[in-house]
C-alpha cells in the first residue's frame, strides 16, 4: 500500500478529516479531504463534524481550527511549522499597543497567535480584509496587525487610514517590482496576479491581488491564456490541475514558505498512528480568541 493509501485508510478508521492549505506540498494536498485558503479552512474546521481534524498548514491555522472546533481532536503533524509573521506580534507588545490606543478598533489578520487574537476586536483574512475594514464605522480609528504590507494594500484599496504593526511575511516580502517587470517583459500578453502580503509596490503592478483561493478562481475564470503568478509556489499544483488550459509563469525565483513545506506524508501518517501532536489551548484563551474570529465569519458572510 502507498503512503497515500495508508493515510486514507487510517483517516477513515479514526474518523479524521484532513485539511490542507494551498501552499502545502502537492502530495499533501492530494491526500487531504479539503484544500483551501485560510478563510475556507476556518469555515471548514468550524463546520467539521469529524471527531479528529488533521491540520496541514502553519500553527496559527491549526489553532484557529481548535478554537472553532473545540470538541475535536486537532492534530498538527509538525509542531515547529509556525508562521514567522504571526510571531512578529508577541502578545505582551500587542497588549501594550492596545493599552496605548484604548479608542481604536484592533483588527488582526488571522496570521497571528491565539494569545494575540484574544486581545483584539475582530479578525480578517486576505480574502475578506477589505470587507471587514469597510464594516468598521468610519469614525473609529483602526489598528491593524501584524502585516504592514496587507495593511497598506487594504488602505490603498479602501481609502481608509489605519495604524500598522511593522510585521511582514518573509516569503512574500522577498518579491520585488523588478521581478514583475522582468516577467511582464518576457510575457507581454500575460496578466500578473499576486497575494496582498506582497509589497505595495508589487501590488501596484498587479492586475489583481487576491487570497490563495482568489488567485485560483482568477486563473480558472480569466479569459487571458497566460498568467504570471506572484505567490508561494505551492499554489501552482492546484492551478495546473484546475486550469490545465492556462499557461502559468511563476515569477523567478518564486518564493517558498519553508514552514508550509515542513509537513510531509510521513508526518501525517505518524500523527494519525499516534494521535499526536494535538493542539491544546486553555479554555479561557480559546473562548476569548473565538470572539474576533466569529465576528469576522459573521461580517464575511454578509
Contact 268, 18 (CB under 8 A): yes
CB of 5 to ligand 13P, least distance (A): 28
Q: Does 84 bind ligand SF4 (CB under 6 A)?
A: yes
Positions in 174-203 near ligand SF4 (CB under 6 A): 197
Neighbour-count burial of 95, counting CB atoms closer than 10 A to its CB (0-12 exposed, 13-18 middle, 19+ buried): middle
Among 200, 209, 211, CA closest to 228: 209
* Residue 40 found at the interface with ligand SF4 (CB under 6 A): no
Nearest approach in angstroms of CB 235 to ligand 13P is 9
211 binds, among ligand SF4, ligand 13P, none (CB under 5 to 8 A by kind): ligand 13P
Grid cell of 42 as nine digits: 476556518
Q: Which does 125 bind (CB under 5 to 8 A by kind): ligand SF4, ligand 13P, none?
A: ligand 13P
User: Cβ atoms within 10 A of the Cβ of 25, count?
Assistant: 18
Mapped to the 3 state alphabet, what secondary structure does 187-217 carry?
CCCCEEEECCCCCHHHHCCCCEECCHHHHHH
Q: Does 263 bind ligand SF4 (CB under 6 A)?
A: no
At its nearest, how many Å lie between ligand 13P and the CB of residue 174? 12
Candidate list 75, 94, 142, 169; residue touching ligand SF4; CB under 6 A: 169
By CB under 6 A, is residue 63 in contact with ligand SF4? no
Rg (CA), the chain: 19
Give me the least distance between CB of 49 and ligand 13P, in Å please.
Answer: 23
147 contacts 111 by C-beta, under 8 angstroms: yes
Which spans of this chain sit near ligand 13P (rule: CB under 6 A)?
22, 37-38, 111, 125-127, 169, 195, 197, 211-212
Question: From residue 220, how far is each of 8, 238, 286 by CA, in Å?
Answer: 28, 10, 37
Q: Are strands 142-145 and 16-21 parallel, antiparallel or unpaired?
A: unpaired
Distance CA 292, CA 117 (A): 7
Shortest spacing between CB 210 and ligand SF4, in angstroms: 14
Contact between 232 and ligand SF4 per CB under 6 A:
yes
Q: Which residues bind ligand SF4 (CB under 6 A)?
A: 58, 83-85, 111, 169-172, 197, 232, 257, 259-260
Amino acid at each position: 500500500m502507498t503512503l497515500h493509501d495508508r493515510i486514507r485508510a487510517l483517516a477513515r478508521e479514526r474518523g479524521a478529516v484532513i485539511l490542507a492549505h494551498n501552499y502545502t506540498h502537492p502530495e499533501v494536498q492530494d491526500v487531504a479531504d479539503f484544500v483551501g485558503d485560510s478563510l475556507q479552512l476556518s469555515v471548514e474546521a468550524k463546520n467539521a463534524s469529524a471527531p479528529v481534524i488533521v491540520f496541514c498548514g502553519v500553527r496559527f491555522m491549526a489553532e484557529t481550527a481548535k478554537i472553532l472546533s473545540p470538541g475535536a481532536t486537532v492534530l498538527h503533524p509538525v509542531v515547529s511549522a509556525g508562521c514567522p509573521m504571526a510571531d512578529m506580534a508577541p502578545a505582551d507588545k500587542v497588549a501594550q499597543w492596545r493599552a496605548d490606543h484604548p479608542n481604536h478598533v484592533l483588527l488582526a489578520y488571522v496570521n497571528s497567535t491565539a494569545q494575540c487574537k484574544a486581545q483584539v476586536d475582530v479578525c480578517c483574512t486576505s480574502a475578506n480584509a477589505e470587507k471587514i475594514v469597510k464594516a468598521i464605522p468610519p469614525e473609529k480609528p483602526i489598528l491593524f496587525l501584524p502585516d504592514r504590507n496587507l495593511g497598506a494594500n487594504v488602505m490603498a484599496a479602501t481609502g481608509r487610514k489605519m495604524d500598522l504593526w511593522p510585521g511582514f511575511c518573509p516569503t512574500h516580502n522577498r518579491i520585488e517590482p523588478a521581478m514583475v517587470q522582468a516577467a511582464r517583459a518576457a510575457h507581454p500578453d500575460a496578466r500578473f496576479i499576486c497575494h496582498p502580503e506582497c509589497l505595495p509596490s508589487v501590488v501596484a503592478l498587479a492586475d489583481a491581488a487576491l487570497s490563495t483561493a482568489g488567485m485560483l478562481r482568477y486563473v480558472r475564470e480569466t479569459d487571458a491564456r497566460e498568467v504570471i503568478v506572484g505567490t508561494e509556489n505551492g499554489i501552482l499544483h492546484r492551478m495546473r490541475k484546475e486550469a490545465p488550459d492556462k499557461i502559468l509563469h511563476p515569477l523567478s525565483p518564486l518564493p517558498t514558505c519553508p514552514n508550509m513545506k515542513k509537513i510531509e506524508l510521513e508526518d501525517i501518517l505518524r500523527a494519525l498512528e499516534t494521535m499526536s501532536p494535538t493542539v491544546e489551548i486553555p479554555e479561557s484563551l480559546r473562548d476569548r480568541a473565538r470572539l474576533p474570529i466569529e465576528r469576522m465569519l459573521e461580517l464575511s458572510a454578509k
